């Protein structure tokens, strides 16, 4: 008989034991709630049109994005999974205007969870990669209904972060601040099994990901860096680059964790007033924690993403430049020299 392998729950229980954490049980329970949401979403994403989950709704989220049917379904699945088992004190979702309180009468736990329930949702209707991103913070003591202010904490305070990639296989990638581990969903037993222990991002790369159609809006340092990449071995960077754009941050960051690379969604003339395109709490901070824990770097161009001071708005945006450490630091040099 084939060996079962290490399941995500047993991995977390063992990790908590090693750390001597007294909160081990409830933290493991919280991660279990998240994996239940992700398994449910994976099932629907996988069935696609057979499950009637493609297409758009007639609503928009607070950032003005038209919500896909699956954005709303995935959002509700996260909320249901998180509020039913008493591990979570409050939630903030990319798809909800306000932070979400645990319903009256339900038990409240020790953690705050922020999530992007369906990342890359424009890929949903074309059967391409989508994902989910989440971040976990310790809940403040003695607060029954946490407010936006309680979620507005720098990324350095995250105690765990992860993403689930719904690709050819469904994968959960997780950090609790002690490295990054990847688990593949085994559909026959319904469990995430450890397949990618200690994921490490190569320090060097010649692969970049940026939406090049925005080129004319970029700031000079990004203009200069990409222009130098395009010149390949004849340019100042002295190597031939490759480019990829999945249009789902989960897909880009997963590729970078597997083989290196750099992902940029920089500040530009269109998004300057908003502060960037991607969301600090739902995308920037969790992905920055994962990338740094895998040995990579995550900056805005000016500072570490995880040190960006939250402004109290749970939908705050942030520019991101993250991935292979030496390449990210090279882009930082372009910013310093500008
Ligand atoms: P979401 O689907 O959660 O709104 O996120 C989409 C984000 C990110 O995942 C992706 O890298 C980027 O937006 C794609 O942007 P473009 O539309 O510029 O391709
Ligand atoms: Mn997203
Ligand atoms: Mn989303």
Cα 252 to ligand 2 centre (Å): 11
C-alpha to C-alpha distance for 242 and 65, rounded to whole angstroms: 30
What is the total residue count of the chain? 338
Cα 94 to ligand 3 centre (Å): 6
Phi, psi for residue 313 in degrees, rounded to 5: -95, 115
Per-residue exposure over 14-53, b if at least 16 CB sit within 10 Å of its own CB, e if not: ebbeeeeeebbebbbbbbebbbbbbbbbbbbbeeeeeeeb
Distance from the Cα of residue 117 to its chain's centroid: 10
Protein residue closest via CA to atom 16 of ligand 1:
247
* Nearest ligand, measured from the Cα of 72: 3
119 lines ligand 1 (CB under 6 A): yes
- Ion ligand 3 — residues with CB under 5 Å? 94, 116, 118-119
Q: Identify the pLDDT of residue 25.
A: 74
65 lines ligand 1 (CB under 6 A): yes
Band of pLDDT at residue 21, cut at 50, 70 and 90: low
What are the structure tokens assigned to 252, written together?
Answer: 């880009």
What are the structure tokens assigned to 249, written together?
Answer: 């941050």
> How many distinct helices (H) and strands (E) make up the chain?
8, 17
Cα 65 to ligand 2 centre (Å): 11
What are the structure tokens assigned to 265, written together?
Answer: 């969604």
Q: What is the pLDDT of residues 285-299, one digit of tens each?
A: 999 999 999 999 999
Cα 211 to ligand 1 centre (Å): 10
120 lines ligand 1 (CB under 6 A): yes
pLDDT for residue 19 is more than 80: no
Determine the atom of ligand 1 nearest the C-alpha atom of 250: 9
Cα 19 to ligand 3 centre (Å): 33
Q: Any idea which architecture 207-337 has in CATH? A: 3-Layer(aba) Sandwich (3.40)
- Ion ligand 2 — residues with CB under 5 Å? 116, 119
C-alpha to C-alpha distance for 180 and 54, rounded to whole angstroms: 32
Neighbours of 141 (CB within 10 A): 6
Between 334 and 22, the more confident residue is 334
Q: In this structure, which CATH number among 3.40.50.150, 3.40.50.1820, 3.30.540.10, 3.40.50.2300 belongs to the domain 8-196? A: 3.30.540.10
Q: What is the pLDDT of residues 312-327, one digit of tens each?
A: 999 999 999 999 999 9
What are the structure tokens assigned to 220, written together?
Answer: 């000079």
User: Could you please report the per-residue DSSP string of 33-86?
Assistant: HHHHHHHHHHHHHHHGGGGT--SEEEEE-TTSPEEEHHHHHHHHHHHHHHHSSS
What are the structure tokens assigned to 199, written together?
Answer: 């994921």
75 lines ligand 1 (CB under 6 A): no
C-alpha to C-alpha distance for 255 and 75, rounded to whole angstroms: 25
Element (H, E) at 323: strand 320-323
Determine the atom of ligand 1 nearest the C-alpha atom of 116: 3
Q: Identify the pLDDT of residue 164.
A: 99
Domain residue spans of the chain: 8-196, 207-337
Range with lowest mean pLDDT among 6-10, 15-19, 270-274, 332-336: 15-19
Average pLDDT over residues 303-314: 97
Average pLDDT over residues 179-208: 97
CA atoms within 13 A on the CB side of 174: 24
What are the structure tokens assigned to 32, written together?
Answer: 């279990």
Q: Which residues belong to the active site?
A: 65, 71, 94-95, 116, 118-119, 283
Protein residue closest via CA to atom 6 of ligand 1:
120
3-state secondary structure of 180: strand
Residue 182 in contact with residue 196, Cβ under 8 Å?
yes
211 lines ligand 1 (CB under 6 A): yes
What are the structure tokens assigned to 329, written together?
Answer: 């630091």
Residue 315 in contact with residue 62, Cβ under 8 Å?
yes
Residue 23 in contact with residue 17, Cβ under 8 Å?
no
């Amino acid at each position: 008989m084939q060996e079962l392998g290490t399941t995500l729950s047993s991995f977390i229980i063992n990790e908590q034991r090693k750390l001597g954490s007294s909160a081990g049980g409830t933290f493991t329970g919280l991660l279990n709630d998240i994996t239940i949401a992700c398994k449910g979403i994976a099932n629907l994403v996988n069935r696609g049109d057979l499950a009637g989950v493609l297409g758009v709704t007639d609503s928009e989220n607070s950032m003005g994005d038209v919500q896909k049917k699956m954005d709303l379904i995935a959002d509700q699945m996260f909320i249901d999974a998180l509020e039913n088992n008493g591990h979570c004190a409050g939630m903030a979702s990319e798809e909800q205007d306000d932070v979400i309180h645990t319903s009256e009468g339900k038990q409240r736990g020790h953690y705050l969870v922020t999530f992007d329930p369906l990342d890359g949702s424009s890929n949903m209707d074309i059967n391409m990669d989508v994902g989910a991103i989440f971040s976990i913070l310790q809940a403040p003591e003695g607060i029954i209904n946490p407010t936006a202010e309680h979620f507005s904490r720098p990324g350095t305070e995250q105690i765990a972060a992860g993403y689930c990639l719904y690709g050819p296989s469904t994968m959960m990638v997780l950090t609790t601040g002690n490295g990054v581990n990847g688990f593949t969903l085994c559909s026959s037993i319904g469990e995430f099994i450890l397949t990618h222990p200690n994921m490490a991002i190569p320090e060097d790369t010649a692969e970049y990901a940026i939406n090049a159609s925005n080129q004319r809006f970029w700031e000079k340092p990004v203009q200069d860096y990409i222009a130098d990449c395009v010149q390949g071995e004849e340019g100042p960077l002295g190597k031939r680059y490759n480019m990829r754009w999945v249009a789902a941050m989960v897909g880009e960051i997963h590729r970078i964790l597997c083989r290196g690379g750099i992902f940029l969604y920089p500040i530009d003339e269109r998004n300057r007033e908003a502060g960037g395109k991607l969301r600090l709490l739902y995308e920037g901070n969790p992905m920055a924690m994962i990338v740094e824990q895998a040995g990579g770097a995550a900056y805005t161009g000016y500072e570490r993403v995880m040190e960006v001071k939250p402004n109290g708005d749970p939908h705050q945006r942030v520019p991101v430049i993250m991935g292979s450490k030496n390449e990210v630091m090279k882009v930082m040099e372009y910013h310093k020299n500008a």
